[in-house]
Chain A
Amino acid sequence: MRLRDRQRESQIIQMRLVWTLVFVVIVLASLVSRIVWLQWAQHDRFRALADQNRVQTQPIAPPRGLILDRHSRILADNQPDFSLVVIPEQLRDMEAALEGLSELIDIDEDQLERFRAQLSQRRRPWEPVPLRSRLTAEEIALVAEARHEWPGVRIEAEAIRHYPYGELFSHLIGYVNRINVQDISAMDEATLANYSGTNFYGRAGIERQYESELHGSVGYRKAETNARGRVQQVLDETPPVAGRDITLYLDLDVQRAGWNALGGRRGAAIAIDPRDGGVLAFISRPGFDPNLFVTGISLRDYGAYREDPDRPLFNRALQGQYPPGSTIKSMMGLAALEAGVTNWQRTIQDPGFFRLPGTARVFRDWKRGGHGKVDLHKAIVESCDTYFYDASLKMGIDHMSDFLSYFNLGRRTGIDLQGELGGILPSRQWKQSARRSSWFHGDTVNTSIGQGYMLTTPLQLAQAMAISARRGKQKPPQVAMTAKAATEDKDLTLKDPNNWQLMEAALTDVIHGAHGTARAAGRGAKYQIAGKTGTAQVFSLASDVEYKDLDVSERLRDHALFVAFAPADNPAIAVAVLVENGESGGRAAAPVARAIMDAWLLDGKGNLRDLSKPRLSSAAGGESP
């Protein structure tokens, strides 16, 4: 060991202590300079960042516009609802909280699954994620009591859509439900900003069609918030502009009358005021409860709708394509008159079938043994098929499809509803392009009684009747009073306008004549109805088989159809009714049309009202459902 020099060792340490002090001062000075750099040189930048943190601009969703019937009765409104939301950032143990909450209140697998899906999506931190909607007062109390166990679990109030009449208007009004990623990604920047506070989006029907009007404009609230998004104080506020109310031509009383008359059967009924094109009733049964969809329908409920053989989610009025059957005979009759192949005096002998000239092929009349001597009037009233088989071959398919196109058959009417389907108005060109096949005489014969390839929706049939009622004037049907209806279709002008009147007379005898196919539905009517029955074959039977003899199950029976307008001399309503598997247009469909027309045309005492004035509602000042 070296000899120790304590003096020198002390000096070493003391020197090092001095160095240490110098080092400490330098380091502290550099820390201070770092702070000065942040607080002085970078101050503006960090000030802005802090304000960005502190001041949140929160969107305020505008209240959605109401949907009203023509008497301002509310068909869709907004009601306060309490939902359970979770702020994941505030929860320590999500699984434990979900388990605890599930024990407390009813949360099904479905809701959990949707909640988790939302969690995994990209979202703003601290934004609440909805877990359960429509809490009852009892559930609110239960959650409120236990809430301290789970910071980040909150109860929030929001306005949700409410449809007071449930399924009655389901296929017309549609519904809203939670806005989703697809909706958002389809929006342009301005729309996206306008929807920044909105939770719901129109999915079908009026809600979808008039989404932009019903939605309104978003408002903004500038507020000081803490990191958890809780508002400390409001700094500035721009109130939202409420969505516009949409008033419909629809009449609740007429809708309900048709709905009830249709009863538990599957079918559709449309009523149009031919004078303005306004849709008075729009019925498709069975309907669904749109309220179930608003906050997210459960898999169980949705599955029940999907698996129901009656297909309640299917909009028969707008999308159901059926052969129009005999309901087009008045239009076929006019076509034949216009072509000059027949007149009101000409008669044929109907043996109950029609043999296609030059072939052995036979087309049956619905009436066994035939109608005997038949003129055009009788052919309409008794719905004689043979007469039209004969006339069709004389006028040919080209004229038929040209003429019928004036009645909007087989194509979209242009109604202000999304999802409308067209149909088929057969023609040579159509068959060539759709079936890659040439047209045969047998096709012409089938088309003459609305069978074969021809397909129309109940809405198109109602529109055809509205055009008939207006004697060829075009006007698209419209649901909302604000709709800007325009059409480029040409009006139909007959060479001999008297044929309109004569055809109306024939149609009137369908209801009021002694042999009319819908005479049962005309009993006791305070006004004259011009109408036509029809049946649409569900499946084709070999032409020589008498299908009525067969024991066909209910769902294989023909669909019953009835179209009409009334009063015959001054039409104020045009109706089309379809009853699936209703078999007889006169017995199943016509009474529904009658109920609809009565509701629209009669006053409170059961007399024909003054049609030049608006109809008074059944309960002035509104009613509760």
Chain B
Amino acid sequence: MSNREYLRQLPSHQRGPGNLDLAFRLHIDMPLLAGLLAIMGFGLFVLYSAGGESMDLVLRQLTRFLLGFIVLFILAQIPPRTFRFWSPVLYGIGLLMLILVLVIGTEAKGAQRWLSLPGIGRFQPSEIMKIAVPALVAWFFRDRALPPSMANTFVALMIILVPAMLIGRQPDLGTALLIAMSGLVILFMAGLSWRVIGASVAGAAIAAPLMYFYVLHDYQRRRVDTFLNPEADPLGAGWNIIQSKTAIGSGGIQGKGWLNGTQSQLDFLPESHTDFIFAVLSEELGLLGILLLFSLYLFVIGRCLWISYHAQDLFSRLFGAGLALTFFIYILVNVGMVSGLLPVVGVPLPLISYGGTSIVTLLAGFGILMSVHTHRRLMG
């Protein structure tokens, strides 16, 4: 029974003043929206402190949120079959741009990640792929029998790995891994056998040291070294991770209080309002703040999985689950990095970290999920 059907059978006084109906007609999923708004509100609250009490920064972040919501709203109006129809095209455009970026891209901090297009301005084509890769994998499996055959698994892997490798060459290993993950989770959803999964994990464990020695760039290798032993260079490469662990640990269970974190307020913590904002939150608000944030995240992810679970077609189901898990992987990688469990890769804490095109991409993903949920009745 869908929301709508459930609501229909209720007496009118229990339906409320027609809000849910209106929301449904606008293709907005109220629980998901509420969860997102709660995370964003909490994020702005933390950002105010992390950004040195700069209202300006908060307002700029708010502007980005609004832009993201416009995208979310527009995408929510588009039925899932349209996404399905356009997903090969989107993937093709994305792939073309990734090749272009390697040829004519703009360099920043030693990596070619940006593409300057007249009229649109500078943007990272890899952002498109965060949507396009799970979309195309879902599109691919829609017409294939599940669980996937070996041949289909191979094709899916190619869909995933070609853009991931192009991004890895920019080089932007963090994004490459995220995009690969966003596709691989769909492979998992599609019912890839546990045996293959187990073998892959084992293979990855063997491949990792080989990657370290033969594939990684020097700066990436240094990041791994730093992760394994931050104390080796406490004032240089190890500084970030030592300071962020210090911030988290010194905050304690209760936290030092909002605006009172010494690590963040006295600038010992680098990137405190962007990639390392989680350390600020931990230092100032303690475990309670973290549990609150994690609960909100869990609620949003749970809602997304619930939407996917109830999606009416295979494409929507796989695509939705892929988007939900991409969101989760962001959290895992960022928190893992800030707390010293994973190497430092430039992944923001979703909806909390300041800036980045990632906010718009993330909200676009939620827009698609809302579309999946609110277009069910309209599908044949």
Binding site for B on A (CB under 8 A): 1-2, 4, 6, 8-10, 12-14, 16-17, 20-21, 24-25, 27-28, 31-32, 34-36, 38-40, 42-43, 45-47, 49-51, 53-54, 125, 224-228, 232
Contacts and interface: CB of A to CB of B under 8 A. Distances in A.
Interface stretch (B16-24, B71-79, B202-210, B261-269): B261-269
Interface residues of B, number: 52
A6 B145 CA distance: 9
Nearest to B267: A227
B252 A20 contact: no
A17 B235 CA distance: 44
B291 interface: yes
A31 B332 contact: yes
Contacts of A13: 146, 189-191, 308, 314, 317-318, 321
A2 B317 CA distance: 21
Given A24-B298, A125-B235, A32 B317 contact: no
A303 B268 CA distance: 46
Given A224-B266, A226-B267, A20 B321 contact: yes
17 contacts: A12-B191, A13-B317, A16-B189, A17-B308, A35-B287, A38-B245, A38-B282, A46-B245, A46-B246, A47-B250, A50-B249, A53-B246, A53-B263, A54-B268, A125-B235, A226-B266, A232-B266
What 5 A-B pairs are tightest by C-beta distance, nearest first?
Answer: A46-B249, A50-B250, A226-B266, A12-B191, A227-B267
B305 A17 contact: yes
A54 B249 CA distance: 15
Given A12-B146, A31-B294, A39-B286, A46 B248 contact: yes
B31 interface: no
B305 A20 contact: yes
B154 interface: no
Interface in B201-260: 235, 242-243, 245-253
B328 A1 contact: no
B97 to A, nearest CB: 30
A416 B68 CA distance: 80
B356 interface: no
Nearest to A43: B252
Nearest to A30: B341
B336 interface: yes
A38 B249 contact: yes
Interface of B: 145-147, 185, 188-191, 235, 242-243, 245-253, 262-263, 265-268, 282, 286-287, 290-291, 294, 297-298, 301-302, 305, 308-309, 314, 317-318, 321, 324-325, 328, 331-332, 335-336, 339, 341
A24 B328 contact: yes
B235 to A, nearest CB: 5
Contacts of B314: 6, 9-10, 13
Contact of A28 (B189, B191, B282, B297): B297
B335 A31 contact: yes
A34 B335 CA distance: 10
Nearest to A125: B235
A125 B325 CA distance: 42
A35 B248 contact: yes
A50 B290 contact: no
Contacts of B282: 35, 38-39
A31 B286 CA distance: 14
Nearest to A15: B191
B309 A14 contact: yes
Given A6-B314, A20-B321, A50-B268, 11 more contacts: A9-B146, A12-B146, A13-B314, A31-B336, A43-B252, A45-B249, A50-B249, A50-B250, A51-B250, A125-B235, A225-B266
A47 B262 CA distance: 10
Nearest to A40: B253
B251 A39 contact: yes
Looking at A4, A40, A42, A227, the one whose CB has the most chain B CB atoms below 10 A away is A227
Contacts of A16: 188-191, 321
A38 B262 CA distance: 17
Contacts of B291: 32
Given A43-B249, A46-B248, A31 B339 contact: yes
A12 B245 contact: no
B339 to A, nearest CB: 5
A24 B263 CA distance: 30
Contacts of B287: 32, 35-36, 39-40
A12 B147 contact: yes
Nearest to B242: A49
A257 to B, nearest CB: 59
A49 B246 contact: yes
A38 B266 CA distance: 21
A50 B339 contact: no
Contacts of A17: 189, 305, 308-309, 321
B248 A39 contact: yes
Contacts of A39: 248-249, 251-253, 282, 286-287
Nearest to A52: B246
Contact of B294 (A32, A43, A46): A32
A46 B253 CA distance: 13
A28 B332 CA distance: 8
Nearest to B312: A10
B248 A53 contact: no
A21 B302 contact: yes
Contacts of A25: 298
A13 B286 CA distance: 37
Contacts of A10: 314, 317
A40 B309 CA distance: 38
Contacts of B286: 39
Nearest to A1: B145
A47 B286 CA distance: 13
A577 B356 CA distance: 82
B252 A50 contact: no
B342 to A, nearest CB: 11
Nearest to B194: A19
Contacts of B189: 13, 16-17, 20
A359 B188 CA distance: 120
Nearest to A2: B145
Contacts of B290: 32, 35
A42 B243 CA distance: 14
Contacts of A8: 146
A219 to B, nearest CB: 23
B309 to A, nearest CB: 5
B275 to A, nearest CB: 16
Contacts of A4: 145
A34 B337 CA distance: 12
A464 B268 CA distance: 67
Contact of B339 (A2, A35, A49): A35
Looking at B246, B290, B328, the one whose CB has the most chain A CB atoms below 10 A away is B246
A46 B250 contact: yes
Nearest to B317: A13
B377 to A, nearest CB: 18
B250 A49 contact: yes
A54 B267 CA distance: 10
A24 B266 CA distance: 35
Contacts of B267: 226-228
A39 B305 CA distance: 31
